[in-house]
């Protein structure tokens, strides 16, 4: 769940962001507390607090005093914009680098992507239905 | 941030051996530290001087802004779980716990009882007859239940199996969350504790070689792997702490976080970037300083 080589607080913040993006945490919904995050990921609570503080600063979460942390209105839109902007760097560039190595051109890639997008999603166990 | 321990120019010499070499650092309140380093690096010596169980050759140690020596007010706020703690021959675990309860004002009986249960510690067997793991469990239970304002764990896991170690880490984090306090954890199992510790202190041959926030260290180094000439071109001018090669493939560990632009350059050069775990980084750093030290010594001989 936790990868090496990247700041833990960033990974904790991203895990909360993922829940907001996939809709399991909705606008005005209560977000996990620092202590819950620390216990779940088995990390130092100060590190979890740093991740939460970063989300507050980004206006993704806000604090209701004495109650806890909540998802700020518009947080999902904000995160989607941000993730879409980073999509090319994070996913397309490495894809292109590997494609170049294998001698696959843009048309080959477009074909592959279209094929995969229209094919039925693979089942988790890889079993045939 | 307020600090609870302040060490200035601490030196400890045993006859010819310099165990601690002019070390200065501070320990902040309510923070979990990892005190890491090789065997014989000076970890236990530092902890025993801080807890007034050993004398400094020179330098100054302040704990809660006071000198800890024969200072009962300071000592009752500190708990030192030694790796090789000695107990009286006929003592049972419950005697050790009763003594700890008298000494530590924040001792929690219910917490101790729960830990005894979880570690499955036989309470009616003499401590002398316990296994190495059970002996470690006695220390861990005392260290956690005492809730001292500063707790030192010196390799507390010897003989503990993976399940028992996980119980220790989980209860430590859980109880720390409810009752924040300063914990200094000395360990060789760096990867196991790297997510628990907020700050890392690395001691190597009597000197502090790293004193930083753990998160800041996590992306400190990277392994660059790929065609040797391309790797060498990229790492030229960088601080290299390790290099291996296999045929014409090289793997070089460099210090310094990589920028996005650098990562793009690496990708377009067909080079892979692999993360370096805290454990690898510390192994590399301490090896590296050892090599540099050896080189200096050689230089001095000439």
Q: Which residue has the higher pLDDT, B86 or B143?
A: B143
Please give the tally of structural domains in chain B: 2
Domain identity same for B131 and B271: no
Cross-strand pairs, B242: B253
> What does the domain layout of chain A look like in residue ranges?
8-75, 87-118
pLDDT tens digit sequence for B263-300: 888 887 888 888 888 888 888 888 766 666 665 554 44
> Beta B3-14 vs B17-28: how paired, if at all?
antiparallel
Q: What is the DSSP secondary-structure string of B235-259?
A: HTTS-EEEEEEETTEEEEEEESPPP
Which phi and psi angles does B113 have, rounded to 5°? -60, -40
Per-residue model confidence (pLDDT) at position A89: 81
Point out the least confidently predicted range of A115-124, B61-70, B211-220: A115-124
Angstrom distance (rounded) from CA B67 to CA B75: 10
> Beta A61-64 vs A68-71: how paired, if at all?
antiparallel
3-state secondary structure of B111: helix
Chain B residues in contact with A89 (beta carbon < 8 A): 260
| Residue numbers of the domain that contains B70 | 3-216
List the CATH number of the domain containing B290. Answer: 3.30.70
Domain identity same for B118 and B212: yes
Domain identity same for B47 and B148: yes
Angstrom distance (rounded) from CA B231 to CA B270: 10
- The alpha carbon of residue A44 is apart from the nearest alpha carbon of chain B, in Å, by 5
Closest CA to A72 of A20, A14, A9: A20
According to the CATH classification, is domain A8-75 in 1.10.10.10?
yes
When CB atoms are compared, the residue of B176, B177, B219 closest to A6 is B219
Chain A residues in contact with B195 (beta carbon < 8 A): 2, 8, 41-44, 47
pTM above 0.90, yes or no: no
Helix (H) or strand (E) holding A70: strand A68-71
Angstrom distance (rounded) from CA A95 to CA A98: 5
pLDDT tens digit sequence for B75-103: 999 999 998 888 888 899 999 999 999 99
Contacts of B194 (CB under 8 A, 6+ apart): B34, B214, B277, B278, B279
Angstrom distance (rounded) from CA A4 to CA A105: 33
Closest CA to B49 of B152, B190, B197, B144: B152
Structure tokens at A92: 């397309």
Flag whether residue A41 sits within 8 Å of chain B, measured between CB atoms: yes
Structure tokens at B164: 């028992």
Domain identity same for B210 and B91: yes
Closest CA to B251 of B284, B285, B226: B226
Domain identity same for B205 and B230: no
């Amino acid at each position: 769940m936790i990868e090496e080589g990247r700041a833990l607080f960033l990974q904790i913040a991203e895990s909360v962001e993922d829940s907001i993006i996939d809709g399991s945490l909705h606008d005005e919904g209560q977000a996990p507390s620092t202590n819950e995050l620390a216990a779940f990921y088995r990390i130092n609570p100060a590190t979890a607090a740093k991740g939460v503080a970063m989300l507050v600063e980004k206006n993704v979460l806000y604090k209701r005093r004495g109650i806890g942390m909540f998802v700020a209105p518009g947080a999902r839109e904000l995160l989607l914009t941000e993730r879409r902007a980073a999509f090319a760097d994070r996913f397309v560039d490495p894809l292109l680098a590997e494609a170049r190595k294998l001698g696959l051109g843009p048309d080959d890639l477009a074909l592959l992507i279209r094929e995969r997008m229209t094919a039925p999603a693979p089942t988790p166990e890889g079993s045939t239905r | 941030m307020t600090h609870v321990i302040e060490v200035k120019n601490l030196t400890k010499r045993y006859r010819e051996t310099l165990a601690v070499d002019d070390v200065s650092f501070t320990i902040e309140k309510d923070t979990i530290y990892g005190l890491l380093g090789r065997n014989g690096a000076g970890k236990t010596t530092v902890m025993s001087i801080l807890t007034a169980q050993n004398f400094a050759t020179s330098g100054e140690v302040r704990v809660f802004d006071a000198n800890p020596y024969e200072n009962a007010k300071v000592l009752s706020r500190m708990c030192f779980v030694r790796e090789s703690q000695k107990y009286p021959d006929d003592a049972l675990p419950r005697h050790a716990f009763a003594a700890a309860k008298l000494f530590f004002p924040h001792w929690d009986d219910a917490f101790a009882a729960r830990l005894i249960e979880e570690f499955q510690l036989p309470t009616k067997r003499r401590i002398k007859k316990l296994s190495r793991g059970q002996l470690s469990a006695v220390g861990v239970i005392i260290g956690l239940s005492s809730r001292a304002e500063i707790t030192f764990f010196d390799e507390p896991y010897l003989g503990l199996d993976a399940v028992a170690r996980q119980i220790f880490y989980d209860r430590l984090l859980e109880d720390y969350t409810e009752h924040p306090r300063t914990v200094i954890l000395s360990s060789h199992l760096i990867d196991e504790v790297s997510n628990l510790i907020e700050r890392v202190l690395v001691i190597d041959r009597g000197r502090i070689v790293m004193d930083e926030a753990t998160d800041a260290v996590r992306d400190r180094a990277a392994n660059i792997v790929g065609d040797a000439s391309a790797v060498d071109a990229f790492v030229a001018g960088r601080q290299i702490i390790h290099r291996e090669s296999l045929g014409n493939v090289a793997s070089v560990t460099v210090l310094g976080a990589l920028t996005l632009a650098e990562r793009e350059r690496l990708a377009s050069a067909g080079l892979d970037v692999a993360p370096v775990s805290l454990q690898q980084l510390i192994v590399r750093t301490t090896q590296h300083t050892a090599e540099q030290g050896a080189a200096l010594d050689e230089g001095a001989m000439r």
